[in-house]
């Protein structure tokens, strides 16, 4: 669908709206911008690039957490992933603070 919209030579916003009329959950503006940029580089390979193993493991953990409790909070997810300390330090110091 994205490639078809690209070939119609319309804007990314219009293409996103067109696809959302068919499948609301499929197209986001961000996703469409990524694909259109790829097409503009004459890269018409429609396969997603493989992601690193690290993210794949985190995805598996998140899927398992949600499968066990669909109403899990972000704090509970953070605790499960041992990220709570990193998030707290980020909030206190900010992203641009000097150490």
**Is 61 found in the same domain as 35?**
no
Domain count, the chain: 2
SS3 annotation, the chain = CHHHHHHCCCCHHHHHHHHHHHCCCCCCHHHHHHHHHHHHCCCCCCCCCCCCHHHHHHHHHHHHHHHHCCCCCHHHHHHHCCCHHHHHHHHHHCCCCCC
**Is 89 found in the same domain as 57?**
yes
**Is 58 found in the same domain as 83?**
yes
For the whole model, what pTM was predicted?
Answer: 0.44
Could you read off the pLDDT tens digit of each residue along the chain, which spans 99 residues?
778 888 888 888 898 888 888 876 777 888 888 888 988 899 888 777 666 555 667 777 788 888 998 898 888 887 877 764 455 455 555 555 554
**Is 63 found in the same domain as 87?**
yes
Identify whether 99 is part of a domain.
no
Identify whether 78 is part of a domain.
yes
Domain that holds residue 85: 53-93
**Is 29 found in the same domain as 8?**
yes
């Amino acid at each position: 669908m994205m490639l078809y919209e690209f070939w119609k030579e319309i804007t990314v916003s219009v293409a996103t709206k067109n696809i959302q009329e068919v499948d609301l959950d499929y197209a986001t503006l961000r996703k469409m911008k990524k694909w259109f940029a790829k097409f503009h580089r004459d890269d018409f390979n429609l396969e997603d690039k493989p992601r690193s193993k690290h993210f794949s493991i985190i995805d598996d953990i998140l899927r398992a957490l949600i499968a066990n409790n669909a109403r899990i909070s972000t704090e509970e997810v953070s605790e499960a992933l041992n990220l709570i300390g990193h998030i707290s330090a980020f909030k206190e110091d900010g992203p641009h603070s000097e150490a």
